[in-house]
Amino acid sequence: MSATHAQVDPELEDLVIAPQGQGGFHACWYPVATSTEVPAGEVVAKEFLDYQVAVWRTDAGVAQVSTSYCAHLGADLTSLGVVLGDCLRCPYHHWQYATSGECVVIPAPHDEIPETARIFAYPTEERFGLIWAYNGEVPHYDVPHPVGVTEDEVYYEVVVDEVLPVSSWAPVSNSVDLQHLSFLHGFEGAQLEPEGELEVTDHYVGTTQVVETTKGTFETGMRTWGTNVFSGSRRDADGNLGMVLFAPQCNINNGRCQTYTVCLAAKGDGGPDDLAARDAAFEGMKKQSWIFRKDDVPVQEGIHFRPRNLLSGADRWLKLYLEYVRDFPRADPAARYQ
């Protein structure tokens, strides 16, 4: 007997978000590896967007993320591939690929190197202790960073967190889901409805607010870059940097995501007191991250995330975010190189 399904009201379907890989993957910057995982002149294999990729550094230390199969016969460039200067060499017939993805050396006798002799080189940047790859030919926004924070004014330390069985946008949705702070995390006095407007652009959603507390006036900034990176920061009335949050996620294989936390602390004179303050700030951020994750992770591990048009006024920001995720552009430029 064949199964039957009730007809779904279109009004309840308008927030359905297609799984990653269906029509491509979100055209975002993703953290693919930590900086310390890839020494100069080395290549490592990583899962990324349902593929295996090669993450490698030139001898000069420049990081690159590329598809991992040689254009010639498909040999795996990550298992026995060798970095030679600025190139990644195939172990099989020693074809060499530049950071652009172009094959620049074929040592066996040949006429010309075909234009199609190339691997796909993801646009790659290294920021805040992470190697980032953009899923697309040309990035349409800059590498994510904490709001109003430059890399040279902070210390940072990367923590590799859980692999979750959800797409990378799902954990980030918490940032605009104010209700869960009260109901899941038990924060007394947490607001249930958002105040003000959520700014929605083609590559981020966010808000900047001035907050009055017993310790003074602070400007707080919150932003989700692409669909997968949450960042936030707070400065006092004198412009001094206080709390910073930075939580990137990377889609890997089979609908899962690798989560990271980047601990950041304002950089001072580099003396003993400054370094002690840095270490205390890092420890405090790790504890704060754990407080949230011990509640969030079990929910994310078991959730069947299926947003429908059943949202209340308290979900006003969440609804905007889910619509933004639903409509975010997708790409799969590496597909033809597999």
From edge to edge, which strands make up the β-sheet containing 130-134?
A: 29-34, 130-134, 124-127
Residue 6 pLDDT: 41
Q: Which of 75, 24, 31 is nearest to 50 (CA)?
A: 24
Asked whether 264 and 242 are in contact (CB, 8 A), the reply is no
Largest interatomic CA distance in the chain = 76
Alpha carbons 153 and 149: distance in angstroms, whole number: 7
Confidence of residue 213 (pLDDT cuts 50, 70, 90): low
Any idea which of 10-19, 93-102, 225-234, 297-306 has the lowest mean pLDDT? 10-19
Higher pLDDT: 287 or 131? It is 131
Instruction: Read off the pLDDT of each residue in 264-286 and give the average, rounded to a whole number.
Output: 91
Taking the C-alpha atoms of residue 337 and residue 181, their distance in angstroms, rounded to an integer, is 43
CB within 8 Å of 222: residues ≥ 6 apart: 147, 175, 206, 207, 208, 230, 231, 232
C-alpha separations of 211 from 61, 87, 195, 217 in Å: 43, 51, 12, 6
pLDDT in the model for residue 8: 44
Question: Looking at residue 148, what DSSP letter applies?
Answer: T
On the question of pLDDT at 266 being above 90, the answer is no
